[in-house]
Amino acid sequence: MSEAVIHDDHDDHHDHKPTGIGRWLFSTNHKDIGTMYLVFSLIMFFIGGAMAMVIRAELFQPGMQFVDPQFFNSMTTVHALVMIFGAVMPAGVGLANWMIPMMIGAPDMAMPRMNNMSFWILPFAFTLLLSTFFMQGGAPAGGWTMYPPLVLQLGDGFPFLIFAVHFLGISSIMGAINIIATVFNMRAPGMTFMRLPLFVWTWIITAFLLIAAMPVLAGAVTMLLTDRFFGTAFFDAAGGGDPVLFQHVFWFFGHPEVYILVLPSFGIISQIIPTFARKPLFGYASMVYATASIAFLSFFVWAHHMFTVGMPLAGELFFMYATMAIAVPTGVKVFNWTATMWKGSMTFETPMLFAIGVLFMFTLGGFSGLMMGITPVDFQYHDTYFIVAHFHYVLVPGIVFGIISGVYYWMPKWTGYMYDEKLGKLHFWTSAISVNVLFFPMHFIGLAGMPRRIPDYSTQFTDWNMIISIGGFAFGLSQLILVWVVIKCIRGGEKATDEVWEGAHGLEFTLPSPPPFHSFTTPPEVTDATAHS
């Protein structure tokens, strides 16, 4: 019924792979594009990580050590942009590319050529962004949030920053449209919406967020561009505008962006915890509704990033209560994961360790988030190391650990070989310990008043800063283990079975490891028994 049609008018046979550089440059294959996304993400993770190392080296002691303040500020700014847009988002899209067609029983993504363009934009967009380091005036140094009027003072790099953001936005929107079209239109017969694996669900909702939020960011930076070059006055009070307007528009994008980053990670651990607890996910439907609620609410909380900017009281109160409301669906998810493990036959392979790490440490980051959601209290925490501790807890052990757990979980499926479990466990324990040494003391120095984005500090913060820096270097080094595990796993090892894990369910585990070049040329029939639950 369907075997020959994929290569209708060519003579190549079913599992023929294109060869050479063209296989990658011109690819229309979701697995190859997914691999490119993941490799790119790993490279950017180390580039952004190197910038973090510069920051921690400079902050190891008070006073100026290695870099001048302008460059330090470029490091904090570009570290954030690289990690958010270059490491975490592409990792999520890479996993989506690899897994969604296999999980829903599709031959590929809905629009394979557009999929290729979504990926290839990324390296070029980051070339635009990183080239600013070599320009007059240096790289962006006004913070990744690009607040005017500070960002408008950037030198020749300014239009390159703006266009890099536009470029990345184009990539994200095309990627999101593709994922929605794929899930809506390419599901195998019987794969109803409420049978979708949770990872697919979280990605549809993420894709909605991307399509709604990224254009708003494009609008915000476009207004920056015209303010700088065409004499408009959007963000200049002297012309009737308001710099705070930028913050509103930016965070209208920025808060949904937070969930764009985290929801795929939630989806990943919702796949992993049931596998290693050998129990179906507790409260599947409530997980779906909780994810959708989080996404919906994320559009009504943006100004909690701006409590100290001087908003009217009604605004402060509204955004405080709306923020508190998000804790409810998030709590539903945390309790569901915990209940999934309750009385399960648990084993603790590396993916499960990382997933449990997410559960504990994301929740910790969530708690400090609740603290800052309380408007009067936030007046003390705002722009201190407390917020740095908060968002790094949710981003690193919350999101990056989630992505890493997904990589360990599905890597045997991708390569056909089991990874080295001993090295995996070593990677987990070194990362989990060092990440806490790195970020936990930031709460203390933040509460004590150390401001963020400053290259020097008062001497009473020295001890904790040294400990933080040591934790930072240890965390950075620990990630080299991941690279070693991945390379080793690609080169060989114990053969992985189709199912890979004893308790694994889902269509991706019905395919061979590694799967054929085109996943499901004949759509499988999905029934309640073969669906995830």
Partner 1 sequence: MSNSQDAYFIPEPSRWPIVGTLALFITFIGGAMMLNGSGFGTFILGFGIAAIVYMFSGWFSDVIGESLSGSYNKQVDISFRWGMSWFIFSEVMFFAAFFGALFYIRVLSVPWLGGEGAGFATNMFLWPDFQAVWPLLTTPDMTLAGVDTKYLAIKEVIPAFDVPLVNTILLLSSGVTVTLAHHALKKDERAPLCWWLAATVLLGFVFVFFQMEEYAHAYHELDLTMKSGVYGSTFFMLTGFHGFHVTMGATMLLVILVRSMKGHFSAKDHFAFEGVAWYWHFVDVVWLGLYVFVYWI
Query: Does residue 196 interact with partner 1 by CB under 8 A?
Result: no
Nearest-10 crossing angle of helices 89-104, 198-229? 140
Q: How many residues bind partner 1 (CB under 8 A)?
A: 89
Least spacing, CB of residue 32 vs partner 1, in Å? 9
In whole angstroms, what is the distance from residue 66 CA to residue 304 CA? Answer: 35
Stretch that binds partner 1, among 55-63, 209-217, 274-282, 385-393 (CB under 8 A): 209-217
Strand (E) or helix (H) holding 146: none
Stretch that binds partner 1, among 82-90, 237-245, 330-338, 409-417 (CB under 8 A): 237-245
Single residue of 133, 184, 360, 367 touching partner 1 by CB under 8 A: 184
Cis peptide before 514 (omega within 30 of 0): yes
Backbone φ and ψ for 495, nearest 5 degrees, come out as: -65, 135
* Closest to partner 1 by CB, 237 or 328: 237
Nearest CA-CA partner of 405 in 432, 438, 434, 365 = 432
Binding mask 92-131 for partner 1 (x = CB under 8 A): --------------xxx-xxxxx-xx--xx--x--xx---
* Closest to partner 1 by CB, 6 or 327: 6
Query: Does residue 307 interact with partner 1 by CB under 8 A?
Result: no
Query: Does residue 474 interact with partner 1 by CB under 8 A?
Result: no
Asked whether the beta carbons of 31 and 39 are under 8 A apart, the reply is no
Query: Does residue 39 interact with partner 1 by CB under 8 A?
Result: no
Stretch that binds partner 1, among 70-78, 277-285, 423-431, 517-525 (CB under 8 A): 517-525
Indicate the SS3 state at residue 189.
coil
In whole angstroms, what is the distance from residue 232 CA to residue 224 CA? Answer: 9
Least spacing, CB of residue 147 vs partner 1, in Å? 15
In whole angstroms, what is the distance from residue 145 CA to residue 309 CA? Answer: 14
Nearest CA-CA partner of 59 in 487, 508, 465, 428 = 465
* Closest to partner 1 by CB, 211 or 292: 211
In whole angstroms, what is the distance from residue 507 CA to residue 520 CA? Answer: 10
Binding mask 4-23 for partner 1 (x = CB under 8 A): -xxxx-x-------x---xx
Query: Does residue 134 interact with partner 1 by CB under 8 A?
Result: no
Asked whether the beta carbons of 328 and 403 are under 8 A apart, the reply is no
The catalytic site residues sit at: 79, 108, 144, 171-172, 255, 257, 259, 270, 304-305, 330, 333, 452
Query: Does residue 490 interact with partner 1 by CB under 8 A?
Result: no
Strand (E) or helix (H) holding 440: helix 421-447
* Closest to partner 1 by CB, 180 or 356: 180
